[in-house]
Amino acid sequence: MSNTDSFIDEVTEEVRRDRLFGLMRRYGWIGILLVVLIVGGTAWREYSRAQAESRAQAFGDAIMRALDEAEPQARIAALGAVAAPGPEGEAILNLLIASEQGSAGEGAAAAERLGAVSGNTEVPAIYRQIAQFKALARADSGMDATARRAGFEALAVPGEPLNLLAQEQLALLDIEAGDTAAATERLRAIAADSAATTGLRRRAQQVIVALGGTLDEG
């Protein structure tokens, strides 16, 4: 019986081996293809990452060279000639150009460019918010105090990155409107906020003192 069992086991193992080889001959190419795809995908990701890093480096270098120009008009022209790598890079470039246009006295052009960035839904929200903030903060924005207040209030949302800076601008609008009590209260809140930068906290404290207030609420 043992010899018979051994023979049966050998035959069964041989059948399994033949079946396995048959399956490998029939479907083995799938495994090979998967290996090729995995290896190729990894290589492509590494290549793409290196290319993206190279483009970002070239973009940053081109911006630095443009900003090294001595005159605002020359910087504007140089920045305008820089090729932006995608919508995000284009938003950064437009923010820089708008800043230079403002320095060159081209307020209308700067406001138009900032408006284009703030209305571009293809770029991250932070860039749109920065563009909106810079447009609202411009003295030559052409907007009245009511429109500017509404714009800053939309940015002064707790937890949003420009919240405190927008609160500062709202305090300045309060001062323009003659409401120094509201301005002082808003500035005290800014100065007490742990998220406020040292510069922002110092500015808030200086304005409070200039308004005749004290740094202590009591």
The answer on 195 and 136 residing in a single domain is no
**Co-location of 194 and 214 in the same domain:** yes
Instruction: Note the pLDDT tens digit of each residue in 121-134.
Output: 988 899 999 999 99
Number of domains in the chain: 2
Residue 54's pLDDT band (boundaries 50, 70, 90)?
confident
Task: Select from 83, 108, 142 the last residue of a domain.
Answer: 142
Range of the domain at 81: 8-142
Q: Is the pTM of this model over 0.75?
A: no
Nearest-angstrom CA–CA distance, 195 and 166:
14
| 105 in the same domain as 148 | no
Check residue 218 and give its pLDDT.
47
If one counts every other C-beta atom within 10 angstroms of the C-beta of residue 92, the result is 20
Q: Which residue has the tokens 């022209």?
A: 77
User: Residues 139-176: pLDDT tens digits?
Assistant: 776 778 898 999 999 999 998 899 999 999 999 999 99
Q: Does residue 17 share a domain with residue 114?
A: yes
